[in-house]
Amino acid sequence: MFNTNVISQVLPAELIRMNENSEIKTFLSQLRKFLPERVIYEAFSALPEDIFDVEDYISVPYLKSDEEIQEFISENGFEDPQNIISFFMEQYMNNLFDIISDVFDDMEERDESGSFMM
């Protein structure tokens, strides 16, 4: 069982570290209105650290009202952390080829420019 006091202390810093994407931060703040921190912590701590590094790879809905947020949470079963994980991982896996291609393109550019990082 999770110690909710520890989760409350760890969660914000952990999630801020995990994402600099303003759309994700907004979405996360919307989820936090209606979901227990334990659920959010379980889900986000299971995601790859780089999942939010490039905004183009992961998209989240823009929810305008509390009613829309609650409806989205309910329709997607976000009460279960596994469903939050699946929501993000499905997008991540669908874009994995693009992610890898971008990494190789960056490596090629470095090789061509003569800059080599170790």
Tell me how far apart the alpha carbons of residues 97 and 24 are, in angstroms, rounded to a whole number.
Answer: 22
- What would the pLDDT profile of 93-103 be if each residue is shown by its tens digit? 988 888 888 88
CB 45 within 8 A of CB 81: no
The angle that helices 96-113 and 81-94 make with each other, rounded to 10 degrees, is 50
Share of the chain above pLDDT 90, in %: 45
CA distance to 8, 97, 98, 99, 100, per residue, from 44 (Å): 14, 22, 22, 20, 22
- What would the pLDDT profile of 61-102 be if each residue is shown by its tens digit? 999 999 999 999 999 999 999 999 999 999 999 888 888 888
Q: Is the pLDDT of residue 14 over 60?
A: no
